A = this chain, B = another copy of it.
């Protein structure tokens, strides 16, 4: 296993400690490692909390800060955070206007965030399930929540900052999630440290089309490797046909790397996706490429499209100051 590690049991704590020190102007780490919260607490607004298994960095802790999340709860690698982590985070950041939990649709996350919500006095939940690849997966009933979660967190973060109510944020989050679709492809497997070997076998000339962010199976195993244009075409088709936009629709294009794919290739995929979207008459007015919602050391990427309107575009553009996303401040 080719990783920077001291002991498998300490990876998460050591990484969180490094993250918190590196970004101590933005975040603070709970002394029991239960959550990462903003360094400066803000009252009078709805507190946004997300979380999930670790191994997807910078999701979620990298999105804690002004204009996005108030706290994030990191579970062990690919393991949901516990309800008591989520409750502790909520108690630390609830500024009196309630707590919105943003939850990726995986069985463990849904169960633990639901349990936590029942223990909190004023909490609502937004579920993300943007992955069009499969309708049911290893850890999921229904669609998986993947890179589109970042879009939901950004838009809701801006809306919370302007003072939206808990009910309004839940409605907006549901709307953004329903306007957002993703699909991914893996060129290599990830390796979970505790397992010490790749999660799945994939040959030198094979790839997994529609892969999940834990290495869950996708739609099909492809061999030989397809050209980048054909890969982008298949992912764009799946996403756009599911969304069913009108011609001329404005969209956000997010090309997300899974952790081991460099920017040279992500921008090449961005260009391929752009051409396919423009051929379909769509207008890319917002764009982003980078390793944002990763799968440990997996090589591969996903394409996410969000249908934009004036409100969602303005919230996407609004100032944000987090470790992993920063603009307008």
Residues of chain A touching chain B, judged by Cβ–Cβ distance below 8 Å, are 2-7, 11, 14-19, 21-22, 54-55, 57-58, 62, 187-188, 204, 207, 225, 227-229, 231, 255, 259-272, 274, 284, 287-289, 291, 294, 296-297, 299, 301, 326-329
Contact = CB atoms under 8 A, between A and B. Distances in A.
A14 B272 contact: yes
Contacts of A3: 187, 265
B15 A274 contact: no
Contacts of A294: 262-263
Contacts of A326: 326-327
A267 B22 contact: yes
Given A15-B271, A268-B14, A263 B284 contact: no
A188 B2 contact: yes
A240 to B, nearest CB: 18
B297 A260 contact: yes
Contacts of A58: 263
Nearest to A2: B187
Contacts of A263: 19, 57-58, 62, 259, 291, 294
Contacts of A301: 4
B5 A268 contact: yes
